[in-house]
Structure 1
């Protein structure tokens, strides 16, 4: 199904000899099926189950070599846990699987999926670590086009919300629709390839493929090798501990194993206090395993609650005067979330080996506010073997979520058949805890009660820890004993049949003899002496023959009895010889296993050394790449600086010439100014002298004027004084 008809006016771009594609998207979006649709019959991607690691396939499509890389989908079903880190690592690694880089990243989205802001945020979180230019190389690939019905994708885009429009705008409005059910439709694949080639040829910057920083790829490779080395080291330590523990003792056991009922009856059922308690948490995702582990150990920082548990984690703490070991495991997928990845199943199988010689109890975590699927639980729990139920306790988490007025017993009674079946398989063993705020709030009484339940169950199991390998060894030993007992039974039945046959022959002979004597008594008469004599002789002859026959029969019986005794003796000798040979073979096997363990340890040490050297080489390569990158940046910066300095130098030279000219002009001006200053000084001095003389003359004139004024004023004052003197005299005269 095409997304839109191609414009007729555009010319067809030249075909690319090779096309490299990477498929990214959510789980269940149809990436593997889309890869098979693109590559056709040669695709070979396994659809219908989760993709656990990047897978690359290559095929010739429409005369081009097309490479498609399928990737694990990121999580969306579980709201509390984010996508596991291994999915993010595989997403980053996908670019390196099609060197020098993919031409296009196909963002796979179901055609009828609701594209929201949260969906776009998920896409950005998983897409943008590929590089800043990843959106320039991204095209949206809508799958399951048949779900659109009679409508088209253009109509759905027009009627959808702004989130889908924003997503398409980020991808340059590049999209295509495929119907994975119509794998024989070649037109949809040809149209997709045409759009991809237009997209590649339309790059303005000339970068036809997506490139990723080499330091990121080197870091991913180094991290992968480091994790593999740690995993091998942990596996080797577990195997060594198991060899020194109960497995070796079980392999050296010679006597046949009794039944479980007899073992339970012959062992004391009084609860025993265990100095060490080993527990393994199992369950579906988001059932509160990590929080329950924190609650049991009494701290909130042992296990990271709220995040995806990718591999088994072991923690220890002292609880109620016991050393408690708890192993947290990855959760299996719910039925609606798809099949459980194989790596999670492997982690579940290996979890019991993290607490050697084995866990005392397997705690099956169930949320009190979630329905239980017994078939799903049984499928994953019996990966450890059929004997797992003897060591299992139901652990109900989120006990604070129980409805008001409802206790755990009422919840179990109303839980349905599946919960009742699980409770019956676990022999009514259960416990409930609260997992509020990531654990760590379990009261001492609640934890002590749980540990006592574990100790009681361990006592019923003769204090034997659960070990999958020990169970396998016991099964092999039981099968061997059953075969031996079956052979002894066959021989005994054969001897009984031979005895019954001899007994029947003896009875037939005795009946024949009795019949003969009875007949002789009937035919005996006094007048027939000769006949009687002849008959007696015949009878004696027959009796002799019968005695001979009886002797032969007795001899035959003796031979059969001796043969039976010889067969029994031969079987006993053969049994003893087989037992000795088995013991010898077991000792040889133990020696070989020890030697093999030593060799494997040496090989692992060599591998570790090799990995360390490779890591050092990778670090050196990464450092050299970084140094080379820094050197190039430094050289580029120096080159740019040189050009800038050269330009500045040229500018400075021009400026210097101008300054020289200005300096010469300034010197000339300075000389002229000096001359002018001299003349000015002379003129100024002359002016000063003239002004001084003029001032002196002016001062003299002023002094003369002032003297005259003063004299005039003094005369006036004298006259006034004289007038004032005269006034009193005139007044006195008048009086």
Structure 2
């Protein structure tokens, strides 16, 4: 029955206003149709609302497009906010659902958009990785997309008094070429000029439409139909898998299994797969911050049944680097998970021999649902799991973290969209999978999900699944690490992976630097402290630093180069983005090494920004004063300064 509210009540008024707004949006014929695209997560909603001159709700970041329409300056503007891709991510690392939805976003503003508004964050370095990501993702629409694109530079306040020409030149060839493809069409979103942003942007769009003789963007119909047909096929397979999962669960509930009084859960997965978050949620305890580098065991008695639950958190392996490049110390810590389990079993048997019979061991393999899963990840996971023995799969549940990102999609649609590699992994785990919305702030939702996941673990163990044998661990300890991935170790790749391991943890200045950038963003869910300190700026551009570094590192061996860059980074004398740029252009490094480093580092930067946003900002928290990153009162010779630092590092290394 349709629910109604009393006339004149607050809820009734709100409902009536929402209905009128929806009716207004549906009844208007847009004069201009725009699609907002890019990798920007934070402050994008504020930009969208500024363009439309309203306070529309865009919802959480998901794999779906969102559309709103408003009258602006006498024109009806329809704005489609397409799903974002992750900053600097290669196209192959973007989930299929996102790539498809990007293309399908044109169907939300029929017959097609007049312009794409590409958001580029001016407070973050526009690296070569960012340039390649923008090009690859936008060209999903086809080559003609560039003739309909306007670049909107956001967060321009971060540049201080620098003008747009200096900024563009300072960011290098990637940004220069991007603007060239877009016909030099760009607009800057500056706080002091925000009231005129819509007018300036629409003027640029109208000139674009005039240049295109009123023609809107048209996507290739065959390509569009291929995606729509694939969506239907995926939907059918997804529903079939979902029904299969329901029947399997019903069958298990009818069968009687062994009662479990104690369970050990071992968490596995790559770095930033949310293992620690999931473990803390299961035990209902606060999450430890920072990277897990040692095996951590925690035990708690849970629920009315007083189930003794032990969670063993393990360090993560790389997502992109092969298993034989995982550091020896990390591999040893992962294997200690079985030792931790044996200690628990031994203690249980000593106190009461009967407890040993009713205890079980389960593995939770974490795979984030917001990125792609290819044959590359399939092999890496298989190789990292191999030392545990083949029987591990009989006791493993696949946990899809970050599932809030799916929005209206079911997890089965993500599984089937990704294709053969992910369906193989699901089947390898006996079609046991769980979609966890671990990024929710609702404690009640998280508690319910954790209970459901624990119930699933109990059901699996109560069916009498076998556990990996003890001798599996002993055999694995004496294996050469190269055997894990069926091939010899590439020494250059190993050096890069080892250096990446040393650089991986966020430094205090990393976090502070991102906080400073966020302080300048007009985000609606963050309050602004008007008395914040003004930032001091470096007197030199990134391109100057990189130029000197390139000259000084010429002729150095790969090992020398990596050591120098790492030491400069630790001393905060060389930025992380400079390191990536230098490493990824050195001829001494094979293309494969550059690509793997770039892809892993992009993951680090995305997670760092997400960490800062979630942990250091809230609606009730005033902005922190900006950190002073350099003293501009003293002019310095950049070349001499950089050269001096490099010589110091070389001298110390030789000693």
Q: Which structure ranks higher in relative contact order (CA pairs < 8 Å, sequence separation ≥ 6)?
A: 2
| TM-score for the superposition, normalised by structure 2 | 0.43
| TM-score for the superposition, normalised by structure 1 | 0.39
Greater Cα radius of gyration, structure 1 or 2: 1
